[in-house]
Amino acid sequence: MIVCKSAGEIQKMRAASGLVADVLAELAGMVGPGVSTLDLDLAAERLVRAGGAEPAFKGYRGYPATLCASVNEQVIHGIPSKRPLIEGDIISLDMGVKMNGFFGDSAVTVPVGRVSDEAQLLLRVTQESLDKGIEQVRLGGRVSDIGHAIQQHVEAAGFSVVREFVGHGIGASLHEEPQIAN
């Protein structure tokens, strides 16, 4: 069941999510050949704490890091390591924070230098599918319309959605309803 939030709760979620967006933008600017995912994780934790928040993932169900850093074929929850990124990789940076009792959580996928045409297509289709999902959000709309729009666009481009994991709501808990296939 989706729990309606008060204006004050929404403001706290917006602040936490704003910090996540700022940190992800900073990390995306750091991505490049020779940078390790551990370097990115250390920077993420420093930036999160400097922003007045706590890392949401670190210690959650035993996860050891602030950042989920998934490289190339890793779908989700990649654990940061000393392995350096190389030209042509793509990396998903996924992180969350807890601030003033509420969570923010988001991810972004970025290229490492020049990437293949297929990787460029994947990045473009991923952004477009997000946009198409957002277009479905409206008063009286169905949550399933969001996932359907995403899946249709992704599959029309020759890719597939990840069926084992979903997008999710946030609030006073890290994972709340709704769940959205993406």
Residue 1 lies in a domain: no
Across 84-109, average pLDDT: 97
d(CA 163, CA 182): 8
Residue 82 lies in a domain: yes
Domain span at 92: 7-181
- Tally the residues of the chain: 182
Residue 2 lies in a domain: no
- Position 171 scores a pLDDT of 87
Amino acid 172 reads A
Q: In percent, how much of the chain has pLDDT > 90?
A: 85
Report the CATH number that the domain containing residue 164 is assigned in CATH. 3.90.230.10
Residue 112 lies in a domain: yes
Match 């420093």 to its residue by tokens.
Answer: 46
Q: Is the pLDDT of residue 101 over 90?
A: yes
pTM assigned to the model: 0.92
Residue 16 lies in a domain: yes
Residue 123 lies in a domain: yes
Q: How many domains does the chain have?
A: 1
Residue 33 lies in a domain: yes
State the DSSP string of 5-71: --HHHHHHHHHHHHHHHHHHHHHHHH--TT-BHHHHHHHHHHHHHHTT-EESSTTGGG---SEEEEE
Q: Is the pLDDT of residue 181 over 90?
A: no
Burial (CB count <10 Å: 0-12, 13-18, 19+), residue 162 = exposed
CA distances from 30 to 16, 61, 163 (A): 21, 28, 30
- Binning pLDDT at 50, 70 and 90, where does residue 45 land? very high
